[in-house]
Amino acid sequence: MTQAFTSAGGDRCVETVTSALQGLGVMPSDIDYVESDQRIDGPANDQRLEGYTIWTGLKDKTGYVVVYTLPDCHFLSVFTRGEVKIKDGKIVT
């Protein structure tokens, strides 16, 4: 799973995100691409990193599995966008 994640572009919080994906039943072959963003908060002169948002696109699906982490990569939450849904703890379409 880790190799598929990093090959698709994942470079932040690899262990946390791959664990969340595996828990949802995502297989390494399901991963199409990975993008990540920093979540920043505060005024321009005092900004702080709140954590990361990692978007994982799945092959043959329009949508994403999104994992929020804290700055130290501890898991915060997971949700989906588009036609990708979670039902009974697993990804469905």
pTM for the predicted model, two decimal places = 0.87
Token pair recorded at residue 82: 């588009």
Lookup result for tokens 């994640």: 5
**Predicted confidence (pLDDT) per residue in 71-83, tens digit:** 999 999 999 999 9
State the amino acid at position 77 in one-letter form. S
**Predicted confidence (pLDDT) per residue in 10-66, tens digit:** 788 999 999 999 999 999 999 999 999 999 999 989 999 999 999 999 998 899 999
Q: What are phi and psi of 21, to 5 degrees?
A: -65, -45
